[in-house]
Amino acid sequence: MTELAPVLFLSHGTAALLQEDSRVRDYWKKLGQDALDHGVKGVIIMGAHWNTAGGDHRKIQIAMNPTPDFMPLIASDPKISEGFEPNPDLQTGQRVIDMLCNAGVHAEADTKFNWMIDSQIAIVGMFGVKSPPITIISQNAYWDPFFHSRLGAILRPLRKERYLIIGSGGGTHNLYRTEWKYSLGWKDVFAMESPPDDETLEFRQSIEDVFCKNGAGPKLRRGLARLMKHPYFRDAHGTDEHYVSACFAAGAAGELDDEGTETVLGAEVWELRSQCEQQYVIGKWPPSWRIKSAVSG
């Protein structure tokens, strides 16, 4: 069997997750250390806040700014991200553009793109202020689940080269139903007076079932696309952008050769009452890739 890097679907949540004590914060650190211990070559990440608009349903952009600025992580202690500098991977970015264009995708470079929190939170949570080289991919604003799954499938071969592919979004993410009063008044994103709505809880269980009961392979790709027709999808996701990055991740682990690969829900926490910040890992780092310094440590 071909050795492949795992694929992640991470709910990036708010920047408060970087400082508040939770399983998610601890799990992010574990994921990052695990990647470093196995010689990760770079990270290819699709967030949820960068969407390529217009009339072209096959167009996306790749971040190719050599000196990008970045958004302040205002919901967390500034000391957590103090000294953080983006580490854009322009060489891999161009390679990603070429791979996508050769497959019929209208991919182009964005040389002015500045990093946003949908990528930053996950990157800082995993690697701290010094990350591996990063390639950021936009979504297409038509949010076609099959198209975004195909993007992941096109880039799947990079997993053989120790690239970590990440979709950053949300398990449930409906800003029309979030409750901010405890966050704004007491800086507590976990507080809630009542449990999440039944519809949100039902969808949260459905996405876990699709990931964990199907595992990797074509069933995962089809299952996540089908969930956009779930009767409670719109209750759980007021808009589509925090969901289709899951389809991107599924595409990167959605071939027949991926069948039998275990998918785990490693951690989750509820924020702002309605946001379920689930963290999924598809596959494992091959033991043979573990670097000697990590073994001896």
pLDDT, position 98: 99
Retrieve residue 288's tokens.
């043979």
Mean pLDDT of the chain: 96
User: What is the count of structural domains for the chain?
Assistant: 1
Domain span at 142: 7-296
Percent share of the chain, pLDDT over 70: 98
pLDDT, position 73: 85
Q: Is the pLDDT of residue 251 over 90?
A: yes
Whether 229 is in a domain gets the answer yes
* pTM for this entry: 0.96
pLDDT, position 296: 53
Confidence grade of residue 294 (pLDDT, cut at 50, 70, 90): low
How many other C-beta atoms lie within 10 A of the C-beta of residue 204? 19
The closest alpha carbon to 245, from 3, 93, 84, 50, belongs to 50
Whether 199 is in a domain gets the answer yes
Q: Supply the CATH number for residue 86's domain.
A: 3.40.830.10
Task: Write out pLDDT tens, residues 168-204.
Answer: 999 999 999 999 999 999 999 999 999 999 999 999 9
Confidence grade of residue 121 (pLDDT, cut at 50, 70, 90): very high
Query: Residue 106, SS3?
Result: strand
284 and 262 in contact (C-beta within 8 Å)? Answer: yes
Whether 65 is in a domain gets the answer yes
Whether 151 is in a domain gets the answer yes
Q: Is the pLDDT of residue 297 over 70?
A: no
Whether 69 is in a domain gets the answer yes
What is the mean predicted confidence (pLDDT) over 134-157?
98
Confidence grade of residue 79 (pLDDT, cut at 50, 70, 90): confident
Whether 1 is in a domain gets the answer no
Whether 12 is in a domain gets the answer yes
Whether 43 is in a domain gets the answer yes
pLDDT, position 292: 76
pLDDT, position 293: 72
Backbone φ and ψ of 163, nearest 5°: -85, 135
Q: Is 83 left (phi over 0), alpha (psi -120 to 50) or beta?
A: left
